[in-house]
Amino acid sequence: MGIWSCIGKTLDEVRQSLYEGKSGIVFSQERKDAGFRSALCAHVEMPDLKPFVKRGPRQFMPEEAQYAYMATKDALEAARLDQDYIDEHEVGIIYGNDSVAEATMRALDKFREFTNTSACGSGAIFQSMNSTVTMNLATLFHLRGINLTSSAACASSSQAIGLASLLIRSGLQDCIVCGGAQEANMFSVASFDGIQAFSTRENEPTKACRPFDRDRDGLVPGGGAATVILESLEHAVKRGAPILGEVVGWGFSGNGDHISTPNVAGPARSLELCLKNGGISDVRQIGYVNAHATSTQAGDGHEALAIAQNFGDYRVPVTSTKSQTGHEMWMAGASELIYSMLMMQNGFIAGSLNFENPDEETAQINVIPETIEQKFDMFLSNSFGFGGTNSTLIVKEFKS
Amino acid sequence: MTREEIINQVNSVLAEEFEVEDSNFAPDAIVKDALSLDSLSLVDLVAIIQYTYKITVPVSDLPKIKTFNDLYDYIEEHLQK
CATH number of the domain encompassing residue A234:
3.40.47.10
Q: What is the phi/psi pair of residue B69, to 5°?
A: -60, -40
Catalytic annotation, residues of A:
154, 292, 327
The list of chain A residues with pLDDT below 70 reads none
Q: What is the ipTM of this complex?
A: 0.88
Residue of B nearest to A54 (CA): B19
Q: Which residues of A touch B15 (CB under 8 A)?
A: none
The distance in angstroms from the start CA to the end CA of chain B is: 13
Chain A, chain B: beta-carbon pairs less than 8 Å apart: 37
Residue to mutate among B21, B37, B41, B43, with most A CBs inside 10 A, is B43
Task: Show Cβ contacts of residue A170 under 8 Å, excluding neighbours closer than 6 positions.
Answer: none
Same-domain check for residues A26 and A82 = yes
Same-domain check for residues A34 and A145 = yes
Domain ranges of chain B: 3-80
A120-165 confidence digits (pLDDT tens): 999 999 999 999 999 999 999 999 999 999 999 999 999 999 999 9
Same-domain check for residues A177 and A88 = yes
d(CA A307, CA A293): 11
Residue of A nearest to B54 (CA): A114
Q: Which residues of B touch A107 (CB under 8 A)?
A: none
Q: Which of A156, A217, A185 is nearest to A67 (CA)?
A: A185
What pLDDT is stored for residue B69 in this prediction? 97
User: Which residues constitute the domain of residue A313?
Assistant: 246-397
Same-domain check for residues A142 and A288 = no
Mean pLDDT for the stretch of residues B66-72: 97
Q: How far is B30 from chain A (nearest CA, A)?
A: 18
* pLDDT band at B41; cut points 50, 70, 90: very high
**Beta pairing, strands A147-150 & A92-96:** parallel
How many Cβ atoms sit within 10 Å of the Cβ of residue A326? 35
Q: Which of A372, A321, A363, A349 is nearest to A211 (CA)?
A: A321
Same-domain check for residues A121 and A201 = yes
Chain A contact for B58 (CB, 8 A cutoff)? no
- The domain boundary, picked from A197, A216, A238, lies at A238
Residues of A (113-132) whose Cβ lies below 8 Å from B:
114, 116, 118-123
CATH number belonging to the domain at B3-80, selected among 3.90.25.10, 1.10.150.50, 1.10.1200.10, 2.40.30.40: 1.10.1200.10
* pLDDT band at B81; cut points 50, 70, 90: low
Task: Show Cβ contacts of residue A118 under 8 Å, excluding neighbours closer than 6 positions.
Answer: B43, B46, B47, B50, B57, B59
3-state secondary structure of A29: helix
